[in-house]
């Protein structure tokens, strides 16, 4: 034993005699905090260090103080050192050194004074210091030391024995408010989370765009409270944790996180954590468990939800540099990160297998308005150039699906065009706001979807033909064109004066309506259907007149939609039910000398006839003739519906007497034509959702599906009611017109003087049915008139709640 120690001391003396310059005389640098390796360019010694590192508690048992000794063997020395206390779970430096020798200095490795090193490179034989744990600490720690003999000879991360340390104080590692109130109503949580998004709070959800349909798998919201703190609410289904992060970008790394986790015992706990940069790793540290509190929580049906209050200003410790990162939610902009998963790891969350999403906008989180991303194409609109975009009002919000700008520089007329989700975008110069006899400039994305090949062409809209003829590239010069992530853009110059098909277009003297169109498909020698966007300016203007173009009115399109929905979903739906199920209701009560059911049935069907014919005339006037492309099927079925509706009252007027032997023919034809027109009319309305000009959201289909289900359900209920009524009377009751289609009306039918059984039930069902039909009709008409409803609704909210 003695000879071994003597040999070690001799070896150290020989190694220490080699004096090399260039080391860190003032101690270890800050970058050595994590690795504890000197930046000398030499490898650490691989053999066992000859020095001794010991750590022993001192003072009262709950004082949390440890005396640390680093000792060289007899006759040996060292010139440099770095000592830290490490959390065994996270390997982070913890606590601080409180009794420091004059020849030593402290380093802030994450926490203030959490490491100690030498001030000079004089020879040393021992270091004796005291270390103190953070308030509330109750866990194991282990001391690590790096010892330097000379510039090329050093040992790293010598370990002391692990010791358990307890110190009085509020325990920072304890989950925040573990016993927060538990709510049991999951649906109430969801409704509260969805309410106010974009107006009173910022929201992020997975999958993206799930808020309108309220189908988020995970959702997180944040709002500023009156006391200056921020309320964070989160919910995730089929998850054991849900987490909300604050990031400078949309990726994980270098982010402050607040997370809620739920155990199998039903408890929900909250923690703060840190996403390690470039490491896909999340760590929790005792020092971060401050500045927040868990208010309430939920663990139900596999879902987890929590509500927390977070200080507007807090710091998070960077695990790489050990420097605190300041977060200021009132003044700094952040992306919101949301994650959820079905498994937990020890002292951290598991893989984000349920949800992981980031907010597309970087913003101050107390600002609930949508961030307008700057797009250079909108620069100067209304000041130095004309701009026209689709949908109406999109220029101000820079949210156009398609946009075109026109600027005059000397004798040059510069056009810019841009469209999202399109294979082409085109601008036409027209003498009216209709297609036909127009000079067109097309920007086309040719080649594969990944290529960036943009070509510009001129073309001609044939008068009265709804067709376009490509002419070539004469009269225009393409300056720039791009195709990125489905967005096509081009910038071109058009000659001031051109002649197209014998027609002169003089931009310097004449005024024009501007036509704007975009579509997702191309033809071999031209553009395809305008399924992305199509519109025209309301008035003619000189392109050099810099003022805002306004879109042409869509009042006829809106009237057509309102008329047809009111006719076939509204009036016809009620009129058909009255005629089929209510002939033996309100017996003896007459309106305009007619039975109640007949008077109302006739009134509603006349309304249906008037609205259908008017709607057909209006839309033919608007489009100027027959249409091509995807709208053609809608148009064809619409003509069939209107034609059937047109001949139905003529047949009713010419119907034979009830006792005529030919009455059954009328009964069948009237039933077939009426129901056929109704069915075709509803199918036609379904097809209208896909037409770009209607600007209806895709979820309109679900409203129509709900209507169909409601309509069928009421038929089933009333059919069952009719069967029960018939059984009770023990005789045939003419509740179903189909039963008498092969017979004339019998005298017994005419002489009936009282309502069939269950008339009160039928009246109640009719009341509910009419209310439902009116509601569906009203909702659809509002969506048609204010189309596109989503953007117009957002604009209205912006004006109401700026």
pLDDT in tens, 56-76: 888 777 778 899 999 998 888
- The closest alpha carbon to 192, from 219, 224, 227, 229, belongs to 219
* Residue-wise pLDDT tens digits, 771-785: 999 999 999 999 888
Place of tokens 């992306």: 335
The answer for residues whose C-beta is within 8 angstroms of residue 363's C-beta and 6 or more apart is 202, 333, 334, 371
- Condensed to tens digits (0 to 9), the pLDDT of residues 595-624 reads 888 888 889 988 988 998 888 888 887 776
Residue 336 contacts residue 359 (beta carbons within 8 Å): yes
Q: What pLDDT does residue 403 have?
A: 93
pLDDT tens-digit readout, 540-552: 888 877 765 555 5
Statement: residue 657 has pLDDT above 70: no
- Given a cut of 70, whether residue 124 has pLDDT beyond it is yes
Q: Say how far apart CA 764 and CA 783 lie, in whole Å.
A: 29
Coil/strand/helix, residue 107: strand
Is the pLDDT at 739 greater than 80? The verdict is no
Rounded to 5 degrees, φ, ψ at 74 are -55, 130
Residue 343 has pLDDT above 50, yes or no: yes
What is the structure's pLDDT at 483?
86
What integer pLDDT is reported at residue 6 of this predicted model? 44
Contact in structure between 258 and 346 (CB atoms under 8 Å): no
pLDDT in tens, 511-520: 898 999 998 8
| Percent with pLDDT over 90 in the chain | 27
How many alpha carbons fall within 13 Å on the CB side of residue 329?
A: 25
Q: What angle do CA 508, 510, 514 make, to 5 degrees?
A: 100
pTM of this structure: 0.41
Q: Which residues pair with 201 in a beta bridge?
A: 197
pLDDT in tens, 447-471: 654 446 889 999 998 887 778 889 9
Q: How many CB atoms lie under 10 A from the CB of residue 321?
A: 16
Average pLDDT value for residue range 640-667? 74
Strand partners, 481: 490
Of all helices (H) and strands (E), which one includes residue 492? strand 487-494
Tell me how far apart the terminal alpha carbons of the chain are, to the nearest angstrom.
Answer: 82
* Torsion angle (degrees, nearest 10) of CA 167, 170, 174, 180: 160
792 pLDDT tier (thresholds 50, 70, 90): low
Angle at 281 between CA 203 and CA 257, to 5 degrees: 30
Across 13-51, where does the E strand assignment appear? Answer: none
Structure confidence by residue, pLDDT tens digits, 362-375:
889 888 776 556 68
**What is the number of other CB atoms lying within 10 angstroms of the CB of residue 67?**
15
What is the distance between the alpha carbons of residues 608 and 682, in angstroms, rounded to a whole number? Answer: 13
CA nearest to 790, candidates 403, 399, 212, 361: 212
| Nearest Cα to Cα of residue 608 among 673, 690, 704 | 673
Tokens of 130: 């005291």
Instruction: Tell which wins on pLDDT, 591 or 734.
Output: 591
At residue 156, the pLDDT reads 92
Q: pLDDT at position 323, please?
A: 75
Question: pLDDT-derived band of residue 420, with 50, 70 and 90 as boundaries?
Answer: confident
Of the pLDDT bands very low, low, confident and very high (cuts 50, 70, 90), residue 28 is: low
Q: What is the pLDDT of residue 552?
A: 56
pLDDT value at residue 775: 95
Kind and range of the H or E element at 732?
Answer: none
pLDDT of residue 371: 59
Q: Kindly tell me if the per-residue pLDDT of 175 is higher than 50.
A: no
Place of tokens 């209507």: 707
Judged by DSSP in three states, 98 sits in: strand
Q: How far apart are CA 730 and CA 626, in angstroms?
A: 56
Pick from 585, 638, 580, 620: which is nearest to 604 by CA? Answer: 580
């Amino acid at each position: 034993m003695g000879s071994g120690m003597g040999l070690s001391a001799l070896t150290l003396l020989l190694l220490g005699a080699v004096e090399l310059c260039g080391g860190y005389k003032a101690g270890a640098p800050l970058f050595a905090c994590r690795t504890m390796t000197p930046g000398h360019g030499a490898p650490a010694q691989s053999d066992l260090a000859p020095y001794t590192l010991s750590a022993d508690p001192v003072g009262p048992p709950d004082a949390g103080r440890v005396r640390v000794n680093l000792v060289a063997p007899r006759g040996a020395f060292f010139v440099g050192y770095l000592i830290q206390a490490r959390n065994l779970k996270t390997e982070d430096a913890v606590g601080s050194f409180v009794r420091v020798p004059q020849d030593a200095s402290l380093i802030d490795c994450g926490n203030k004074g959490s490491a100690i090193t030498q001030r000079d490179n004089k020879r040393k034989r021992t270091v004796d210091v005291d270390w103190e744990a953070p308030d509330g600490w109750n866990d194991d720690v282990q001391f690590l030391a790096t010892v330097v003999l000379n510039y090329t000879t050093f040992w790293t991360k010598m370990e002391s024995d692990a010791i358990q340390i307890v110190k009085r104080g509020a325990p920072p590692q304890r989950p925040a408010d573990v016993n927060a109130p538990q709510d049991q109503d999951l649906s109430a949580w969801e409704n509260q989370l969805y309410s106010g998004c974009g107006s009173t709070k910022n929201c992020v959800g997975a999958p993206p765009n799930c808020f309108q349909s309220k189908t988020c798998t995970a959702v997180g919201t944040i709002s500023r409270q009156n006391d200056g703190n921020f309320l964070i609410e989160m919910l995730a289904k089929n998850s054991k944790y849900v987490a909300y992060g604050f990031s400078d970008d949309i990726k994980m790394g270098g982010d402050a996180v607040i997370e809620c986790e739920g155990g199998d015992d039903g408890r929900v706990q909250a923690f703060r954590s840190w996403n390690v940069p470039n490491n896909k790793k999340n760590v929790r540290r005792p020092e971060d468990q401050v500045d927040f509190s868990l208010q309430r929580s939920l663990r139900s049906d596999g879902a987890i939800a929590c509500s927390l209050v977070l200080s507007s200003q807090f710091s998070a410790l960077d695990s790489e540099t050990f420097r605190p990162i300041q977060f200021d939610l009132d003044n700094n902009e952040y992306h919101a990160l949301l994650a959820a998963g079905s498994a937990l790891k020890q002292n951290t969350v598991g893989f984000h297998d349920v949800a992981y999403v980031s907010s597309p906008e970087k913003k101050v989180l107390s600002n609930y308005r949508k961030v307008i991303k700057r797009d250079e194409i909108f620069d100067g609109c209304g000041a130095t150039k004309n701009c026209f975009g689709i949908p109406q009002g999109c220029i101000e919000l820079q949210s156009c699906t398609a946009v075109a700008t026109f600027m005059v520089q000397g004798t040059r007329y510069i056009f810019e065009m841009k469209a999202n989700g399109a294979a082409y975008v085109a601008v036409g110069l027209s003498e009216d706001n209709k297609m036909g006899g127009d000079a067109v400039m097309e920007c086309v994305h040719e080649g594969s979807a990944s290529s960036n090949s943009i070509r510009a062409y001129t073309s001609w809209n044939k008068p009265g033909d709804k067709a376009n003829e490509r002419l070539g590239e004469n009269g225009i010069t393409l300056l720039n064109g791009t195709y990125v992530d489905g967005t096509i853009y081009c910038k071109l110059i058009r000659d001031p004066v051109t002649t197209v098909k014998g027609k002169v277009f003089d931009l310097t003297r004449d005024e024009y309506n501007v036509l704007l169109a975009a579509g997702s498909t191309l033809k071999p020698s031209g553009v395809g259907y305008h399924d992305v966007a199509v519109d025209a300016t309301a008035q003619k203007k000189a392109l050099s007149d810099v003022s805002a173009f306004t879109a042409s009115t869509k009042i006829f399109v809106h009237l057509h939609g309102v008329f047809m929905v009111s006719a076939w979903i509204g009036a016809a739906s009620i009129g058909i039910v009255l005629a089929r199920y209510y002939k033996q209701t309100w017996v003896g009560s007459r309106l305009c000398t007619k039975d109640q059911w007949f008077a109302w049935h006739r009134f509603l069907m006349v309304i249906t006839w008037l609205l259908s014919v008017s709607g057909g005339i209006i839309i033919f006037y608007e489009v100027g003739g027959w249409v091509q492309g995807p709208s053609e099927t809608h148009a064809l079925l619409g003509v069939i519906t209107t034609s059937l509706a047109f001949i139905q009252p003529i047949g009713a007027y010419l119907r034979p007497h009830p006792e005529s032997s030919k009455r059954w023919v009328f009964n069948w034809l009237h039933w077939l034509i009426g129901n056929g027109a109704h069915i075709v009319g509803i199918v036609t309305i379904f097809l209208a959702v896909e037409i770009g000009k209607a600007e209806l959201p895709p979820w309109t289909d679900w409203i129509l599906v709900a209507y169909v289900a409601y309509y069928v359900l009421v038929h089933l209920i009333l059919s069952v009611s009719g069967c029960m009524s018939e059984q009770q009377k023990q005789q045939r009751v003419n509740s179903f017109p189909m039963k008498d289609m092969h017979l004339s009306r019998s005298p017994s039918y005419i002489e009936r003087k009282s309502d069939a059984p269950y008339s009160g039930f039928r009246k109640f069902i009719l009341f509910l049915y009419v209310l439902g039909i009116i509601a569906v009709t009203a909702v659809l008409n509002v969506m048609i008139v204010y189309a596109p409803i989503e953007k117009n609704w957002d604009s209205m909210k912006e004006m109401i709640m700026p």
